Chain A
Amino acid sequence: MLTCQELTELVTDYLEGRMSFVKRLGFELHLGMCARCRAYLRQMKMTVRTLGKLPAEPMPAEVRQELLARFRRLGRGGPSKARGSWKACVLSALERAVGARRGWLPVATILLSLVAAVFLTGARAGPLGEGRVCLFTELAGGLLPFALVSLLAASSRSRVSPAAGAAVASFGGLAGYLLLQVTCGLTHAAPHVLAFHVGGVLLATALAAASSRAHLLWWPR
């Protein structure tokens, strides 16, 4: 049987919930029979509550002012602290992109340079020349709604998740795809449809997912 003296050594184990079932049973049995130990337990609980009510040491006003001034100087404490210039903004976005998901950035760069090559060669005839309009339609169809949703989200201080970004872009891309079924004269050519129509939808989806993952379109104000 637990003595009163032993009980006073077990009070913290009891309050911390670190007692075996059997031990706790013995503890509570003793408490049930012993008003003095119940008083002791109440005192321990009251000690804990009293400690929680200790007044805080007031902070010197100048320290507080200095901290708040620093908060303002830090440029509102956003994710990219150097938000003075566009250059810094882009750099930090790139940094976030690399830090967030290393795999996305090279893939996106390669795909983007492919698209740029198609546009820059200025090919007007041949499969590339035909394809660039289709690709552009797909990218615009997918990425414009995504950008719109991202900006709406940013204006309410929230972010678009990669999954949601990809979903929006793929729906937009799909709408573009349906449009191309009517406007494009090469829907019978499987390579063209695969490369530019389907590829465009996939590219728009991937870009949206990557940029929402890296919060490229998210600027805190």
Chain B
Amino acid sequence: MSESRNTSALVRPKVKAPKEMERGAAASPAPGASPEDIALVQRLLAGEEAAFASLVDQYHSGLLRLAMMFLADRAGAEEVLQETWVAVLEGLSSFEGRSSLKTWVFGILANRARTRAVREGRSVPFSSLAEAGREHEPAVDPSRFQPNGGWAEPPRHWENDTPEKLVMRREALRRLELAIAELPANQRAVVTLRDVDGLDSKEVCNVLEISETNQRVLLHRARSKLRRVLEDCVDWT
């Protein structure tokens, strides 16, 4: 009981009501549990094992990735992940649907991983981001532009490839995954949560405890780099 209160107390205050959403956040839908989330929680509370299995299958790899961003060692990350699942099960009855189930679960993991990282004297890579964001990293290689800012070497057409086809090609997939792994930790965290795991910007800011502006700068740099990698993999015949 006390366990579940702890976890929910840690997560809840950070999820703001839709009213407090910043202006113009058109790209990020208002947080809140969907009817599917509520139904899933009901099934979990009723002890349906299939519901838990689907939850685990859906979130486990994303959660492990996030844990690995806080904790370099895999064993520690896996331990935090186990703790998170137990905390989720024990805290389910206090899930109020103010955030999506996904944000709630990811938030519990982030809090636990952060606490553990601090306890182990590790610096958490996402809190000291403001400075890291200052130096200029162009989205596109400047040599591809003319002095007047127009394209000298314009982007090629990708129309023959779809995302589905791209990830089926082993070489493209390998290079993309390698490029993600080589991103600076903060950019990797943001782009993974946003684009791979599908959280919205507000949720990513809450989970990583970074500002909205910071989140956007990091996302921009990460996406720009990954686009460059894909541009080299794409089939333009």
Contacts and interface: CB of A to CB of B under 8 A. Distances in A.
B140 A81 contact: no
Contacts of A57: 61, 64-65
Contact of B195 (A13, A17, A37, A51): A51
B62 A92 contact: no
Interface in A59-104: 59, 63-64, 67-68, 70-72, 74-81, 92, 95, 99
Interface in B147-161: 148-151, 154-158, 161
B89 to A, nearest CB: 5
Contact of B220 (A12, A49, A63): A12
B176 interface: yes
B227 A43 contact: yes
Contacts of A124: none
B45 A79 contact: yes
B56 A64 contact: yes
Contacts of B149: 3-6
A76 B46 contact: yes
Contact of B61 (A15, A59, A78, A80): A59
A8 B140 contact: yes
Give chain A's interface secondary structure class: helix
B57 A59 contact: yes
B219 interface: yes
B42 interface: yes
Interface in B59-81: 60-62, 64-65, 78
Contact of A220 (B24, B47, B216): B47
Interface in B1-23: 1, 5
B148 to A, nearest CB: 7
A5 B167 CA distance: 29
B30 interface: no
B181 interface: no
A18 B82 CA distance: 37
A36 interface: yes
Given A17-B26, A54-B196, A71-B52, A43 B155 contact: yes
A101 B142 CA distance: 63
B150 A3 contact: yes
Interface in B118-169: 138-140, 142, 145, 148-151, 154-158, 161-164, 166-167
Interface of B: 1, 5, 24-28, 42, 44-47, 49, 52-53, 56-57, 60-62, 64-65, 78, 82, 85-86, 89-90, 92-93, 138-140, 142, 145, 148-151, 154-158, 161-164, 166-167, 173, 176-177, 191, 195-196, 198, 201, 216, 219-220, 223-224, 226-227, 230-231
